[in-house]
Structure 1
């Protein structure tokens, strides 16, 4: 990506990010966790960052904190609830109407481990509706602004759960049977399949699509965990597996800024079991590049959301 210094992925750190002045990055879930860390680093390298989240008060707090940390940085906010298509449409229309481009779209926000089946404002299962359908609709709405950039990237944050066999892309809204982590795995596989299909459809344009997974880190995704067993698992993971939110943001930052990244790649940590470490291209989940599955998911996503990407 222009504005970045060349660095081999095996030795990459955020210090390798080049000057991002003149570039605009929108980060969903940018008011906390990995999203806030991603926005913080991009702002430190000169990017104008737009924090997207559900509540204006928390967005304002995060924007003020970033401004205090980095005087002179340009930080904006936009309210968008990824579980509400009307909210997504309003945010997309507002941003697409602005004269400038969006150079980086970081589809970072998400929910995980919702204990019982809940639904979005539009009746979709909450985890799949937020993590995939919400970002599908937002990316479509922002495509005019992305196409105005001379070199744009859409970075979608998936998870190691994309590899789980339970994440098969059938019964997308968990209407026949609901399991908290099954719904999560389904949504994270959809992130990968969506990105691969988006990269194919964007071939020949100056917009690239990359998918990442952050390894393991304690983030706000765990906020829905409940019950003694779930709390115990999270506590053990925190001690034994979880990396820092700073390190967990590295795959997103690398995918957004490195000139070595190619459209359609899957980026994750290089460490043991891909839980932590410097970001590198990693293998796709099994059959995630199946053309028929990509087409099926795209068609279903358009049908469910009523959203179409610009030709």
Structure 2
């Protein structure tokens, strides 16, 4: 039985992804911060598909100690990991906050936490790494002199930069090795819990966008599931809904933001991420696809 890890699998797109992977016969490890939410998510999977194989693990991507502990536990328990879905994230945090390790919270959680997790799990990875971005990545900018946004913090500036980093990381991993299949996706527009930090005005606009051009959470999970399971999903690909403004529709190859195509930017982000997290990738130990 193949083993899949889904970060942020306790709700929204992550939970839908976990449920569907279990339906397809994977053993699913749901990773999340809160034990009660993890237990409820596992029960949801079992209720949807009796007899399915599911387990949970506590993981706080805003705490590198937690990331290391989770990865160490997985490596002890599983000789191989067939799929890692880097799905968890935070969005539009209203004021600048820091992770346990002193990174700006949005960048530290969405990018650095997943960068560290993927690198630590690399010895057991034998299949695919799917990293979930967002359409707003096209507006993102990585200012390497101000990655922690110590000046000019704005919620969506932080979010768009982190989501750009997600794509750049996925593409750079694909460029550096063919021993795992690294794929980026974005889900389009859907009513998920990631927007819990935003104010009422943004919620109103978001609700209108979902009503006009959006889709259900189940539909929004399709790019992740396509990248995770379809034989035609290519390493280095970026998949998103093919409909109007990439808000909804079946998965298809999407236009990669220009910044994420820049090999110098990607290499610099990789080096900075290794330095900040203390996780150095040994791509020679990754298992074959």
- TM class, shorter-chain normalised? over 0.9
- Whether the 8 Å contact between 1:254 and 1:279 is mirrored in structure 2 is yes
Out of 171, 178, 201, which is 2:153 matched to? Answer: 178
Shift of residue 169 of structure 1?
4.1
Count of residues paired in the alignment: 282
- Whether the 8 Å contact between 2:213 and 2:244 is mirrored in structure 1 is no
- Whether the 8 Å contact between 1:169 and 1:190 is mirrored in structure 2 is no
Q: Equivalent residue of 2:260, what SS?
A: coil
1:158 alignment partner in structure 2: 133
- Whether the 8 Å contact between 2:191 and 2:207 is mirrored in structure 1 is no
Shift of residue 292 of structure 1?
0.7
Out of 102, 116, 123, which is 1:144 matched to? Answer: 123
Deviates more, 1:98-107 or 1:74-83: 98-107
Gaps of 5+ in 2: 284-289
Q: 1:70 to 1:266 in 2, by over 3 A?
A: same
1:126 alignment partner in structure 2: 105
Gaps of 5+ in 1: 1-21
State the alpha-carbon separation in 1 of the partners of residues 192 and 204 from structure 2.
16
1:100 alignment partner in structure 2: 79
1:55 aligns with 2:34: yes
Shift of residue 239 of structure 1?
2.3
Out of 211, 218, 221, which is 1:239 matched to? Answer: 211
Shift of residue 230 of structure 1?
2.2
Q: Tell me the TM-score normalised to structure 1 length.
A: 0.88
Cα RMSD, aligned residues only: 1.2
State the alpha-carbon separation in 1 of the partners of residues 151 and 228 from structure 2.
37
Q: Equivalent residue of 1:51, what SS?
A: strand
Q: Equivalent residue of 1:105, what SS?
A: strand
State the alpha-carbon separation in 2 of the partners of residues 65 and 159 from structure 1.
26
2:287 alignment partner in structure 1: none
The ranges of structure 1 where at least 4 consecutive aligned residues each deviate by more than 3 angstroms after the TM superposition are: none
State the alpha-carbon separation in 2 of the partners of residues 247 and 230 from structure 1.
22
1:253 alignment partner in structure 2: 225
Shift of residue 255 of structure 1?
0.4
Out of 270, 280, 295, which is 2:252 matched to? Answer: 280
Q: Equivalent residue of 2:29, what SS?
A: strand
2:44 alignment partner in structure 1: 65
State the alpha-carbon separation in 1 of the partners of residues 28 and 248 from structure 2.
26
